[in-house]
A and B are shown apart, each in its own frame.
Chain A
């Protein structure tokens, strides 16, 4: 018989397989992540992408900046919940009118290697940021209006302003670097200094270990001064990188991860319905807008842009696509800021849109549902979007809404970098994109986006080629005015001009979403960021 000895083979093979399976199952039984509680107050945070680097001068990632300002380092000043500036590393200051400021630093803050944090470190960091070789975001964007620094004594330093400007103290929301560890690094090499991936900071948490795309471990700094809130409550905070939203939520629901940043809008219900998890939704710093190419027909006509703005039902988009987690935008000033001008947004009004279009000479002359101008050219254009699912669904709704008033918008979806390049080179008709505020200085965004001095600079941020003198005047007034009443008036004026001229059409502010285990302590998130209360996070209520 042919098959006689097969059972042999079968038993041999199945015994092997069974053994393998058994080992696997046994291991599984004893596996499972630490669960809530962990070892000695370990807080586990799931993030969708990894951090970049930790150097206040060269880092530019949103989460990098947050972690430096709230956990690893000690910024000179800090924001409170009203976004007012409070003393932090500097325990007090003397403003010299609008020409400069002197900071008196605390004497009890130490680097994590034990050295004191002094005015020399602050001066060193300032000079590095200002050094062109470092190509620093801090030096060029945040410190644009600060001309020089001078150390008075070990704990006193004076900064000189380049010119009078609004929100001047907010220029100093950045932490110093330790001079004794970095003075031998050449400025051009600073971006690649090993320090940036194993920083020695001065904040309530100190650096522990970092494995790229896997985990970043922070440890409690027991020396952090009580008057600044004291050492972190958690003994250890572990950031884990989990790129897939659904497995990340699984980890939160099983308790392996305590905080989940960010959450996807379609996961809200699952988190809200579960007694063990808590939803955090708060106004964010990202504004979405539809950028028109003001240099290109037909968008060189303000009437047309205004008409299209009336044709867009932004309320519907916020409710249907954002699950209500957003707010209609009127400018780059966020609704939660004290300088926000509370003006009504442009109303959704298709009848008025049609009327404006007719006034501008756009009439459906051949009955195909698309309007044409006097020369017979149809009102057709391309809208660029990246391949992000939210953006894609928004432009699809937009296309439909514009079609209702006789405008033919063709969607062109591109990979993000490719879209960005077309946008920067101003090779587009219209683009749906967003803007993220790095800080809370109101003048920064509009002067980059809309000021006409940027209009002719290649690759500048004024990619819609906006040249509106009234807008320039309002932006300059808002950026220079010393007192808040005048600033507020200027920003209100700016918003009115933006509404009237529609150089870009603002769509909505997107809420930030996160989730945490219900038994976590101290998780509070607001526009200052997800990580802003990190020093108070702990497990086990």
Chain B
């Protein structure tokens, strides 16, 4: 296993360099340039040239590329053009916010998704199965931004106008008077801000996990070895939780591998609607402002996480299913 992981990590290096190269050139081929961000009609063209010199944009593309690559591998991501500060600072400020949001959401998505899926499979065709199927398909097929806006409408705006005892904050990560709160109030404040965005993500994504879990579980509990397990007198709980569940995990692990990158990137629409200051918005705005250094750094980190996500999924396959061996 150790050799497998090492091999995979080594083979990822040329892949990542390739990705970085493609990102660099695609971005530079896109129309527009970062000086238009400071664009002002009254600024004479020679000043825009000076600005390009200051930013190093006057150099030929291949020189810019090698300069960028060299400093990149020395850990210097350069300066964000729009925020006038080091890219590393921008990323470090936003990353924890995204991790809190997507980390909480992912845990809940897989917890709820798997629980619902297992229960549905075990009680196939029961009332619970059909109602939860309808409900989860309802949320699964709903556009997430619309779901988000509906939750805001009901739990924030209407809850306020109707005078419900519970009115959730619609936006932001903390209240404006957060710094004046006691420790307990701070925790409550943070959780109350998390509920709507995490709720949206969980409702939208857990349904998918549940469908996969249910399908695979139904297949597994009809297998001979499950019957054998029951025959040798194991309790039903043990049969389901130990023998069936573990063998139904493979598609869920695939999903986990696919969802992991989003831990980093966040989801742009959630961050926009709920004004969550995370990575999704950083990437989104950087692209529109042609903030090249920031776009390149974030896309590269994103690529790294995608590669890592796949690796983790592969390793977990072997953990879940002893028949899978990487030698």
Contact = CB atoms under 8 A, between A and B. Distances in A.
Contact of B32 (A193, A420, A435): A420
Nearest to B51: A135
User: Chain A, interface size: which category?
Assistant: 35 or more
B221 to A, nearest CB: 9
Given A31-B192, A44-B176, A448-B41, A212 B170 contact: no
B215 interface: no
Contacts of A244: 171, 272-275
A401 B168 CA distance: 47
Contacts of B224: none
A250 B156 contact: yes
A460 B84 CA distance: 25
A32 interface: yes
B180 A135 contact: no
Contact of B177 (A42, A445, A457): A42
B40 A60 contact: yes
B54 A135 contact: yes
Given A38-B176, A253-B157, A27 B36 contact: no
B290 interface: yes
B176 A251 contact: no
A197 interface: yes
Given A60-B40, A212-B83, A421-B32, A132 B195 contact: no
B14 interface: no
B44 A247 contact: no
A10 B153 CA distance: 33
A273 interface: no
Majority SS at the chain B contact face: helix
A459 interface: yes
B149 A31 contact: no
A29 interface: yes
Interface of B: 30-33, 36, 38-45, 47-48, 50-51, 54, 79, 82-85, 90, 93-94, 97, 108, 112, 115, 119, 122-123, 149, 152-153, 155-157, 160-161, 165-173, 175-177, 180, 185, 187-189, 191-193, 195, 230, 235-237, 240-241, 272-275, 277, 281-282, 285, 288, 290
Nearest to A257: B171
Contacts of B36: 417, 420-421, 424
A184 interface: no
B94 A38 contact: no
Contact of A416 (B38, B149, B193, B288): B288
A140 B157 contact: no
A465 B285 CA distance: 32
A254 interface: yes
18 contacts: A8-B237, A10-B119, A27-B192, A32-B169, A33-B169, A44-B176, A53-B84, A192-B85, A197-B83, A211-B277, A213-B285, A215-B172, A240-B172, A247-B152, A247-B170, A417-B30, A448-B41, A458-B45
B93 A211 contact: yes
Interface in A409-427: 415-418, 420-422, 424
Contacts of A248: 171, 275
Contacts of B288: 415-417
A447 to B, nearest CB: 8
B200 to A, nearest CB: 12
Interface in A236-262: 238, 240-244, 246-248, 250-251, 253-256
A3 B122 contact: yes
A9 interface: yes
Contacts of B31: 417-418, 421-422
Contact of A135 (B48, B79, B123): B48
Contacts of A133: 50, 54
B275 A243 contact: yes
Max chain B C-beta neighbours (<10 A), residue from A10, A32, A49, A246: A32
Contacts of A460: 45
B281 A52 contact: no
Interface in A426-478: 435, 438, 444-445, 448-449, 457-461
Nearest to A416: B288
A214 interface: yes
B85 A240 contact: no
A242 B230 contact: no
Contacts of A251: 170-171
Contact of A5 (B108, B172, B192, B235): B235
Interface string A17-51: 10010011111111111100011001010000100
Contacts of A281: none
Contacts of B156: 250, 254
Contacts of B173: 214
Contacts of A458: 45
Given A6-B236, A420-B36, A28 B192 contact: yes
A3 B274 CA distance: 43
A257 to B, nearest CB: 8
A32 B189 CA distance: 8
A422 B36 CA distance: 12
A449 B41 CA distance: 8
A314 interface: no
A420 B36 CA distance: 8
A527 to B, nearest CB: 18
A25 B195 CA distance: 9
A242 B33 CA distance: 26
A254 B155 CA distance: 11
B109 to A, nearest CB: 13
Contacts of B272: 243-244
A188 interface: yes
A213 B230 contact: no
A52 B291 CA distance: 12
A356 B304 CA distance: 63
A375 B161 CA distance: 67
A214 B172 contact: yes
A238 B94 CA distance: 19
A521 interface: no
B169 A256 contact: yes
A213 B45 contact: no
Contacts of B273: 244, 247
